[in-house]
Structures are given as structure tokens and as C-alpha cells.
Chain A
């Protein structure tokens, strides 16, 4: 990959040649094209595939930074209210199922592994079947995560600890607990929404991979989708201890 500074010192632009049909490249068969033959996936505002890949990666990272801002706000709210009512948060946290939480964490980590292997498969021009397999595996674990989340949410509704008119708390700190569960639903809900969007992206990716679109010369969408997926995993890596593991040693678990 390129060095830290961008490679666009002078922007040469495409050499203008007289319009000729199919400038000797089988990749652009039949297309009227003014530029010299190039990889069919190279957009015309880029000079080389490397530059395009680098720009795409930077663009996705910039978006992920905005996502950090997005989740950061909720984490900040969590920090403030946990500082305000630590005992309430501890009591409320104990009601969460630590087994399901740990299982979910493991599932997401596995899905990150399959995603990374999927990117590698595209990067090393593995057959489309292999690429699709890794992507489908990633989606499978993503669905598993959402399924367990659905079970947890159902339990909360059943136990009347969903903030709102039906909230009932039998412990010592009802108000603090309601605050905790507001944050719990907001944070895990936002995270689950990102998972669903991620699954949509993966579906598109699987279809494209099946159509033999990705190989060692062009795998940028896979890489970039992988970045998104890993980010959602990282958010959960932080969510899990903050929500599920508060002061567990005080409880005879």
C-alpha cells in the first residue's frame, strides 16, 4: 500500500486518444472508450487500482470515525449515569444473563474471523464458491447474534423491565434501574440496527461474489464491508463488559 502522503502530486488525467471501440482490452468489450485500456472496475477519477483501493479504505474509515462519534455519545451518557448511580447500575446489571452475553461475544468474534477470512479469500483470488461460503458463514453468525438478542429482549418484556409505563422493579433502586435499562435498550438496539444493516451489506456482497466480481485485482468492496463488520464487533466488545459485568463479584453468582 502507499506511503502516508497521497500519491496525487500532479494529476495527469487520462491521455486523450481518438475514440476507438474496444481499445484492445477484452475487459471492456464493445464499449466506446476514450481512455486507454484499464481494469473494468477502475473508476475514471482514479489513476490506478491501488489509489482507488486506498481512497475507498480511507473513505470507509472516515465513516467509521463518524460511527465512533455516534456510539460515543451513548457511551458518554452511560458513563455519566453510572457515575451518578453506581449501586443502581450494579443491581440492574445483575439481571442480565451473563451466559447469553458471553455467547454473543464469542459469536461476534467468530463472525469477525470468518469475515477476515472472506476478505483474504477475495484477496487471493479464491474461487467464488469459497468467497461466498465465508460471507454466508459471517451472516450465519450475525443472525445467531441477533437471535440471542431477540431472546434476551423477549425476556425483558416478560419480566417488566422495559422502561416505560409497564416498568416494575423489585430491587432497591427502581429509578437507577430504569435508567440502566434505557441505556441498555438504546445501546444494544442501536448496535443491533447496525448488525441488521451489516447483514444487508453482506447479502449484497455474497451476491456480487457469486457473480465472480472479486479477485486479487479488485476486492475493495469486500475489504470495506469487512471494515464495517469489524467495527460493529468492536462496539460490542466494549458494550459487553460495560453492561453485563458490573460488579459481578458482589453477587453470589
Chain B
């Protein structure tokens, strides 16, 4: 079981590197992050045993990543929307 996950992780790494060399425009970043998230999920679920842990453990683990979401989301919502409204400073 661990070996399967291990293989999946290696395949994911290979995919990430290969995808880096293919021009997909802005999708490159999306694909890269998606593969990274899938790899992290595999590690968390299987290697870190969250799949077989209590819901409480799962909630605490997700809380960390939820916090990251808020951090990235709210901060970038500022930077990405600079200049959208006429008259506001860059």
C-alpha cells in the first residue's frame, strides 16, 4: 500500500517536471500547483495516517491549510486587484 503511494508520488514528480517544459500559458501554474496538492494529499492521507485517524485529527490538519487559504486569498486579493478601479493608486 505504501509502495503504491510512493510510486504515485514519483510519477507526480515526473509529471510536474515534464509539465514545466510544455507551454500551457497561465495553466502551467495551475497544473503545477494541482499536482503538488495531490502529492501532499497522498502523503497526508496515507503516510501520515490521517485516513485512519479520528475526525479531530483531520480537522486540525485541515485547519492549517484552511488558514493558508485565507492568508493567500485575502493578501493576493489586494495585489491582484491593484489598478482595477480608475483613479486609485497602483
Contacts and interface: CB of A to CB of B under 8 A. Distances in A.
B64 A248 contact: no
A4 B60 CA distance: 11
Interface string B71-87: 11001100110000000
B interface secondary structure, majority:
helix
A139 B34 CA distance: 29
A200 to B, nearest CB: 20
A65 B60 contact: yes
Contacts of A110: 6
A interface secondary structure, majority:
helix
Interface string B10-42: 100100110011110000100011011001100
A3 interface: yes
Max chain B Cβ within 10 angstroms of own Cβ: one of A79, A231, A234, A238: A234
A148 interface: no
Contacts of A250: 23
Interface string A63-96: 0110011001001100110011000000000000
A248 B36 contact: no
A234 B33 contact: no
Contacts of B55: 3-4
Contacts of B32: 241-242, 245
Contacts of A84: 79
Interface residues of A, number: 53
A1 interface: yes
Given A76-B71, A112-B9, 15 more contacts: A57-B53, A58-B56, A62-B60, A79-B75, A113-B5, A117-B2, A226-B48, A230-B43, A230-B44, A240-B36, A241-B32, A245-B16, A245-B17, A245-B32, A247-B28
17 contacts: A4-B56, A54-B56, A58-B60, A64-B64, A72-B67, A80-B79, A102-B13, A112-B9, A113-B2, A226-B47, A227-B48, A230-B43, A237-B43, A238-B40, A245-B20, A249-B20, A250-B23
Interface of A: 1-6, 54, 57-58, 61-62, 64-65, 68-69, 72, 75-76, 79-80, 83-84, 98, 102, 105-106, 109-110, 112-113, 115-117, 119-120, 223, 226-227, 230-231, 233-234, 237-238, 240-242, 245, 247-250, 253
Q: Which 7 A-B pairs have the closest CB atoms?
A: A4-B55, A65-B64, A68-B64, A245-B20, A248-B20, A249-B23, A113-B6
